[in-house]
């Protein structure tokens, strides 16, 4: 049997001779319309293939020994920078008292003057005052406690700041430095008095262990008294220093790096709702009080959140910095060179109370009673969720899915068009026969 005729019976696409074909005007219109529809649907398939969506996943966080960054920007319009102290502590026993590294205090004019920032250089409370006239062998007295380990001259307190550190090390209150020659030479009391009506903005970031902990901003130097963490409140509660309160505005508070603007535009739309405000619900929070002995507490539940861009692979990724996180500068932790992002979301509940006790009868809750005592300030207690959210960029369909869709569009459209054309042709033919009769 010839090779040509061997597959003749298997031909599923039977042909018609050219003379048996009839071209009609309606057929041409249907053809043009079907081609336009095919082009439109194929373009839709291409757009759908090119579209990138963020697919959220929820897994158990298996990270161990990790650290995270906390970035804050908080203004206190009625308390000067000299009286504010930032402390950090966690359940592992690690404490950071008087945090300064990565933190900047910006002195603000009084609320009456608009609360504008003031040149910090002109208002440095602990400006170095040379004591050359006292001789090179001068060794300042520490007035009771031993000299701090950070003293510029071992065994001596050369400045007012070193005397204050020595007092804090033995849990002694310091006050305004009356009778301390170093403080009198540096005019510490006068400068403190000049700042009494000022405000302060604390901004910057610091790194903590990724365990349950808290950080707080409270007045006076902090020290440990037995098993208690206390603050020197003498200057804060001194009436001669002005009426200080912990009214504050939280401009920004976040755990981990900030979302880039281009990422926010891509995944922070109406459908996704993943924006910096969604991550940081305390942003732009304001609290006001006229009571100096007042305490604000924020309880936060922190959830680890990762963002992996399209094509991201765990092999060779630099986003997992592990134990080398301390080698990364503040603000760069969690930012991968491959575009990945390791950050955190949090939810928050808040509570406030007067340290003098009493009830919330003014707010309509007589049954709600508060304990007496405590430290005035703003406290943030955070807990770490065992779950982790992964936001992964993915295409809505694969390339084979795109080809399958194109074939379905072309085949389906042409099939429907052929059926319509056949119906129109049969209808027109029958109408002609009826008119001929």
Going by pLDDT thresholds of 50, 70 and 90, the confidence category of residue 94 is confident
Q: What is the C-alpha separation between 57 and 340, in angstroms, rounded?
A: 15
Q: Classify 179 in phi/psi space as left (phi over 0), alpha (psi -120 to 50) or beta.
A: left
Going by pLDDT thresholds of 50, 70 and 90, the confidence category of residue 348 is very high
Q: Is the pLDDT assigned to residue 122 strictly greater than 50?
A: no
Contacting residues for 380 by C-beta, under 8 A, at least 6 apart: 214, 215, 216, 253, 297, 298, 300
Torsion of CA 350, 356, 362, 363, to 10 degrees: 10
Q: What is the C-alpha separation between 354 and 374, in angstroms, rounded?
A: 9
Q: What local confidence, expressed as pLDDT, does residue 357 receive? A: 74
For 41-45, 94-98, 270-274, 399-403, which range has the lowest pLDDT when averaged over its residues? 270-274
Q: What is the C-alpha separation between 297 and 295, in angstroms, rounded?
A: 7
Q: Percentage of residues in the chain with pLDDT exceeding 70?
A: 78
Q: Is the pLDDT assigned to residue 379 strictly greater than 90?
A: yes
Q: What local confidence, expressed as pLDDT, does residue 138 receive? A: 83
Q: What local confidence, expressed as pLDDT, does residue 361 receive? A: 66
Give mean pLDDT, residues 221-228: 73
Residue 2 CB coordination number (10 Å): 6
Q: Is the pLDDT assigned to residue 315 strictly greater than 80?
A: no
Contacting residues for 263 by C-beta, under 8 A, at least 6 apart: 307, 341
Going by pLDDT thresholds of 50, 70 and 90, the confidence category of residue 1 is very low
Burial 256-285 (b: 16+ CB within 10 A, else e): bbbbeeebbebbbeeeeebebeebbebeeb
Tallying the residues shown for the chain, one arrives at 437
Q: What is the C-alpha separation between 435 and 222, in angstroms, rounded?
A: 106
User: For residue 98, what is the DSSP state?
Assistant: S
Q: What local confidence, expressed as pLDDT, does residue 117 receive? A: 85
To which residue do tokens 């206390």 refer? 230
Average pLDDT, the chain: 80
Residue 200 CB coordination number (10 Å): 22
CA angle 306, 311, 313 (to 5 degrees): 65
Residue 399 CB coordination number (10 Å): 9
Contact status, residue 302 vs residue 214, Cβ threshold 8 Å: no
Q: Percentage of residues in the chain with pLDDT exceeding 90?
A: 22
Q: What is the C-alpha separation between 30 and 43, in angstroms, rounded?
A: 20
Q: What local confidence, expressed as pLDDT, does residue 3 receive? A: 56
Q: What is the C-alpha separation between 347 and 209, in angstroms, rounded?
A: 19
Q: What is the C-alpha separation between 117 and 99, in angstroms, rounded?
A: 21
Contact status, residue 69 vs residue 202, Cβ threshold 8 Å: no
Going by pLDDT thresholds of 50, 70 and 90, the confidence category of residue 365 is low
Assign 342 to helix, strand or coil: strand
Contact status, residue 169 vs residue 148, Cβ threshold 8 Å: yes
Contact status, residue 326 vs residue 67, Cβ threshold 8 Å: yes
For 23-32, 91-100, 116-125, which range has the lowest pLDDT when averaged over its residues? 116-125
Q: What is the C-alpha separation between 200 and 214, in angstroms, rounded?
A: 21
- For residue 430, the surrounding DSSP H or E stretch is helix 399-436
Burial class (CB in 10 A: 0-12, 13-18, 19+), 313: exposed
To which residue do tokens 């006068």 refer? 190
User: For residue 179, what is the DSSP state?
Assistant: T
Give residue-wise pLDDT tens across range 38-60. Answer: 999 999 999 888 888 778 888 89
Assign 54 to helix, strand or coil: strand
Residue 107's closest CA among 117, 122, 97, 115?
117
For 186-195, 215-224, 316-325, 422-431, which range has the lowest pLDDT when averaged over its residues? 316-325
Going by pLDDT thresholds of 50, 70 and 90, the confidence category of residue 267 is low
Burial 217-231 (b: 16+ CB within 10 A, else e): bbbbbbbeeeeebbb
When comparing pLDDT for 208 and 177, which is higher? Answer: 208
Give mean pLDDT, residues 142-167: 86
Q: What local confidence, expressed as pLDDT, does residue 42 receive? A: 93
For 6-15, 405-414, 425-434, which range has the lowest pLDDT when averaged over its residues? 6-15
Q: Give CA 407 to chain center in angstroms.
A: 46
Q: What local confidence, expressed as pLDDT, does residue 39 receive? A: 94
Q: What local confidence, expressed as pLDDT, does residue 137 receive? A: 80
Going by pLDDT thresholds of 50, 70 and 90, the confidence category of residue 123 is very low
Burial 5-37 (b: 16+ CB within 10 A, else e): eeeeeeeeeeeeeeeeeeeeeebeebeeebeeb
Q: Is the pLDDT assigned to residue 18 strictly greater than 80?
A: no
Q: Which residues pair with 294 in a beta bridge?
A: 354
């Amino acid at each position: 049997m010839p090779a040509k005729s061997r597959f003749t019976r298997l031909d599923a696409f039977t042909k018609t001779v050219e003379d048996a074909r009839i071209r009609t005007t309606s057929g041409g219109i249907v053809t043009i319309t079907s081609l336009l529809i095919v082009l439109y649907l194929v373009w839709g398939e291409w757009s759908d293939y090119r579209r990138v969506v963020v697919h959220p996943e929820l897994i158990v966080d298996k990270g161990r020994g990790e650290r995270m960054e906390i970035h804050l920007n908080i203004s206190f319009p009625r308390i000067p920078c000299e009286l504010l102290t930032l402390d950090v502590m966690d359940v592992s026993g690690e404490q950071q008292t008087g945090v300064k590294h990565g933190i900047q205090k910006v002195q603000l004019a009084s609320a009456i003057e608009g609360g504008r920032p003031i040149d910090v250089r002109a208002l440095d409370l602990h400006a170095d005052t040379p004591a050359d006239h006292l001789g090179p062998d001068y060794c300042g007295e520490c007035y009771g406690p031993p000299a701090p380990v950070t003293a510029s001259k071992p065994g001596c307190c050369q400045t007012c700041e070193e005397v204050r550190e020595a007092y804090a090390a033995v849990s002694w209150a310091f006050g305004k430095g009356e009778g301390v020659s170093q403080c009198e030479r540096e005019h510490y009391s006068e400068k403190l008095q000049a700042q009494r009506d000022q405000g302060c903005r604390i901004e910057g970031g610091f790194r903590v262990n990724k365990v349950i902990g808290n950080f707080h901003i409270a007045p006076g130097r902090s020290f440990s008294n037995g098993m208690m963490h206390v603050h020197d409140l003498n200057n804060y509660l001194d009436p001669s220093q002005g009426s200080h309160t912990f009214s504050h505005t939280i401009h920004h508070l976040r755990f981990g790096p900030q979302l880039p603007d281009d990422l926010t535009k891509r995944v922070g739309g109406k459908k996704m709702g993943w924006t910096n405000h969604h991550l940081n619900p305390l942003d732009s929070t304001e609290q006001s009080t006229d009571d100096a002995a007042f305490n604000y507490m924020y309880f936060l539940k922190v959830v680890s959140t990762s963002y992996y861009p399209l094509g991201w692979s765990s092999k060779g990724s630099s986003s997992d910095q592990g134990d080398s996180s301390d080698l990364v500068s503040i603000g760069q932790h969690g930012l991968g060179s491959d575009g990945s992002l390791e950050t955190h979301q949090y939810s928050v509940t808040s509570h406030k109370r007067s340290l003098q006790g009493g009830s919330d009868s003014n707010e309509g809750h007589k049954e709600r009673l508060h304990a007496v005592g405590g430290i005035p300030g703003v406290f943030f207690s955070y807990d770490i969720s065992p779950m982790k959210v992964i936001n992964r960029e993915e295409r809505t369909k694969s390339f084979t899915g795109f080809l399958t869709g194109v074939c379905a569009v072309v085949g389906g459209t042409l099939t429907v068009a052929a059926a319509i054309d056949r119906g129109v042709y049969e209808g027109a033919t029958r109408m002609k026969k009826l008119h001929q009769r």
